[in-house]
Structure 1
Amino acid sequence: MGATKTKEFTETEIILATYAKALGHPARVAILRILLERKACICGDIVDELPLSQSTVSQHLKELKEAGLIKGDIDGKKVCYCIDEKAWKHAQLLMQQLFASYTTCNTSCC
């Protein structure tokens, strides 16, 4: 999203859109599932689990990290990734609030 257009949206809308964008690719969802199952993971292990190249997995990890959903610690030549618990809970709350705000439409408009 262009920096000039963000002024027209609330901070919550911008953050929620950032999380949604990070979740917008099946490879990223798969990576998150792996991290959730293992509690922590080394990048090479993630590559072994997915039908993607190392560079593609690294790009998806970068997107998830930039969105704040994961964090990574460098250990020598390896980077160990895990869920960022605070951001994960925040994303969960914002998504729940969005979906909970739906009420049934009583008209036949759609």
Structure 2
Amino acid sequence: MPDDQLSRVFAALADPTRRDIVGRLAVGDATVGQLAAPYDVTVQAVSKHLRVLEDAGLVSRTRDAQRRPCHLEAEVFDLMTKWIERYQRQAEERYQRLDAVLARLQDDEQQQTDPDEGAAS
């Protein structure tokens, strides 16, 4: 298992069942039994998924009398968002540079096809 939190988060979310559990917890806290209900798996299997999500810092469990509700730790998504936004900015900068190059090429092509118009400018 990778040792940095971002890698653990992405690894945890690589599984569709865990992504679905996270989506359900985004609506509100739930017990393991409540989370297991819609799946054709055992409560133990869902508990294993929750342990992976806990290890990644995405989920925490509290004790409420006999209940142990699971809670989504949404601030972990800030870490993911910052990482994604950094690469999004870099990609946007590359696309802007590409747009500028293509615009120059189009201008050069237009001047070659209509040299009189280029001289009048």
Do Structure 1 and Structure 2 share a fold, with TM-score over 0.5?
yes
What amino acid maps onto 1:81 in structure 2?
C
Q: For residues 68-79 of structure 1, what are the structure 2 equivalents within 5 Å?
A: 68-79=57-68
- The structure where helix makes up a greater share of residues is 2
Shift of 1:99: 4.3
Q: Does 1:34 align with 2:24?
A: yes
Q: Which residue of 1 aligns with 2:77?
A: 88
Could you say which structure has the greater relative contact order, defined with CA pairs below 8 angstroms and 6 or more residues apart? 1
Indicate if the aligned counterparts of 1:16 and 1:95 stay in contact, CA closer than 8 A: no
Cα separation, partners in 2 of 1:100 and 1:51, compared to 1, 3 Å = farther
Q: Does 1:56 align with 2:45?
A: yes
TM-score, with structure 2 as normaliser: 0.65
Instruction: Write out the 4+ residue segments of structure 1 that deviate beyond 4 Å after TM superposition.
Output: none
Q: Does 1:16 align with 2:6?
A: yes
- Equivalent pairs, count: 95
Q: Which ranges of structure 1 fall in alignment gaps of 5 or more residues?
A: 7-13
Cα separation, partners in 2 of 1:93 and 1:19, compared to 1, 3 Å = same
Say what the alpha-carbon RMSD is for the aligned residues. Answer: 2.3
What amino acid maps onto 1:87 in structure 2?
V
Q: Which ranges of structure 2 fall in alignment gaps of 5 or more residues?
A: 99-121
Percentage identity across paired residues of the two chains: 19
TM-score, with structure 1 as normaliser: 0.71
- 1:71 partner SS: strand
- 1:74 partner SS: coil
